[in-house]
Amino acid sequence: MPTTQPVSYVKAHLAEVLDRVRESHDPITVTQNGSPSAVIVDHESYQRTQEALAILKLVAMGEKDLTARRTIPQKQVFADNRAKILAAMAQRDHA
C-alpha cells in the first residue's frame, strides 16, 4: 500500500523507510512543505519500471516506422539475420 511521509520523518527514519520499501515493494511519496517532492521505490521495482519503459519506447518507435512505411519484409529480416549468424559462426571457427 503506497504511503506518504514528510521529508523530516524520512530523514529521521531513513533505514526503517528503506527496509519497509525493500520488503513491501510499495513506494513512499516524500512530501516537502506539504507537497509531493519525491518517491522512494525499491531497486527491483525501479528496474522493472525502467525495462517496461524501454519496451514501450521500442513499441512507439515501431509504430512510427509503420506509419512512415519504414518496414522490411519478414523474409528479408530472416535472411539478413541468418547471414549475420553464419558470418559470426565462420569468424568464430577461424579464430
pLDDT digits (tens, 9 = 90+) for 65-81: 999 999 999 999 999 99
Which letter does DSSP use for residue 34 in this model? T
Contact assessment for residue 42 and residue 22, using Cβ atoms and an 8 Å cutoff: yes
What domains can be seen in the chain, in order of their start residue? 3-41 (3.40.1620.10), 45-94 (no CATH)
Average pLDDT value for residue range 26-46: 97
Tell if the pTM clears 0.85, that is, is over it. Answer: no
Whether residue 9 is predicted with pLDDT greater than 80 in this model: the reply is yes
Average pLDDT value for residue range 21-36: 97
Structure confidence at residue 94 as a pLDDT band (50, 70, 90): confident
Strands 3-6 and 35-40: what pairing?
A: unpaired
At residue 2, the pLDDT reads 65
Tell me which residue has cell 518507435. Answer: 61
Give the integer Cα–Cα distance in Å for 37 and 29.
7
Give the integer Cα–Cα distance in Å for 21 and 2.
9
